[in-house]
Amino acid sequence: MTTIGVEEEYLLVDPIVGLPVPQAEKVRLAADLANIVGGEEVQSELLQVQVEVATPVCGTLEEVGGHLLRLRHAVGSAAEEHGCRMAAAATPPLRDGRPVGVTDEARYRAMVVQAPQLVAEQLVNGMHVHVAVPSREAGVQVLNRIRVWLPVLTAMSANSPLWDGHDTGFASWRTVIFNRWPVAGVPPSFRDAADYDRRVQRLLESGLISDTGQVYWQARLSERYPTIEVRCLDVQLRADDAVMLAGIVRSLVETALDEATTGRVPSPDWAPELLQAAMWHATRHGLSDTLIDPSGGRRRAGDVLCGLLSHVAPALDASGDTRQVTALAHRLLQNGTGADRQRAALAEGGMRAVVDLITRESTAP
């Protein structure tokens, strides 16, 4: 069975008004001292109002879910010790306009010099799924095959409709913010691993990015691990929805590996402008409208999601994940995305109801 790991980024917010609070280092240290997380499992992020967690390498979705709940509870408890709350929302519902402190690391300081306003507005939290691949060459073949599904994954994970106290009209405003960096969005198609490495090296040599960590494609080869890293996902309100998405991503990678090995299915060949537009459409609407499916047709979002589940069904069956993933996917279609739920809370109870939602659901079982 293919191994998997998940990274999640969280906000730290005031429990009453929901404004981000710069307590990341205190919360990280408190979580570590609680002896229920390892030293590398809770990490600093770009801004001092964010923390990141990383699961160990997992073999099953049950392991993923167990670790995510453990880490969310550890961060949530540590946050409460310091008068704030953990919020698994991909953007803060409110900002107060004051500068947000940047974590004091050389890489982050260099980013401030490079793009100060982008850093100031980088109040975004994602979910990254690492799936093991047998080689970089195989990884590139996977990238070429899964890129057409990235808009669907983005729509399913949408959890960032609010910014500066109002509805942006986008289901995933985080995606809009992230796409402003020099190297972002859906990755291009590559001939092979050498082509991938050559193109990244040219970006480094140009000086437009300072390290490979600034290759912000929504899926990429990991430079630290022998994995594909899918990065298009908003962080999820609930841990079980994160588990669902992790299972779908793993099954997509396994399906792509099988297709590349057998050669039975050609690699999809989408025009870059169509794929970019499909991603914009998914970012704008989430699952509340239509999506562009991998055939290039525009269909109801629920039908495209069902098509995705059908596409990965053999891989889900092989890993024993079919029942869990499909049940959670059907719940998603019925109850809506995190963006839908945040908007419903805003309509019913205003910003206080949104803050209650994103802090309560973050540690729900």
Contacts of 340 (CB under 8 A, 6+ apart): 171, 286, 287, 288
Tokens 């100031």 -> residue: 120
pLDDT, tens digit, 9 for 90 and up, residues 150-186: 999 999 999 999 999 999 999 999 999 999 999 999 9
Q: What is the pTM of this model?
A: 0.96
State the pLDDT at residue 38. 64
pLDDT surpassing 80 at residue 268? yes
CA distance 169 to 153: 19
Tokens 């306009």 -> residue: 97
Architecture of domain 4-363: 2-Layer Sandwich (3.30)
CA distance 359 to 76: 9
* Least trusted range by pLDDT, from 14-23, 127-136, 338-347: 14-23
State the pLDDT at residue 228. 97
pLDDT, tens digit, 9 for 90 and up, residues 45-69: 999 999 999 999 999 999 999 999 9
Contact 230, 129 (CB under 8 A): yes
* Least trusted range by pLDDT, from 41-45, 95-99, 116-120, 144-148: 95-99
3-class SS of residue 48:
coil
pLDDT surpassing 90 at residue 204? yes
Contacts of 124 (CB under 8 A, 6+ apart): 9, 90, 91, 160, 174, 177, 178
Contact 125, 11 (CB under 8 A): yes
CA distance 98 to 232: 28
pLDDT, tens digit, 9 for 90 and up, residues 83-111: 999 999 999 999 887 788 999 888 999 88
111-117 contacts at long range (C-beta below 8 A, 24 or more positions apart) = 111/46, 111/210, 111/214, 114/210, 115/181
* Least trusted range by pLDDT, from 33-37, 97-101, 246-250, 305-309: 33-37
Tokens of 57: 């390498």
Closest CA to 214 of 203, 205, 225, 206: 203
Report the residue count for the chain.
365
Average pLDDT, the chain: 94
Q: How far apart are the first and last CA of the chain?
A: 26
CA distance 329 to 336: 10
State the pLDDT at residue 265. 85
State the pLDDT at residue 8. 98
CA distance 283 to 168: 11
State the pLDDT at residue 307. 97
Using only C-alpha atoms, the chain has a radius of gyration, in whole angstroms, of 19
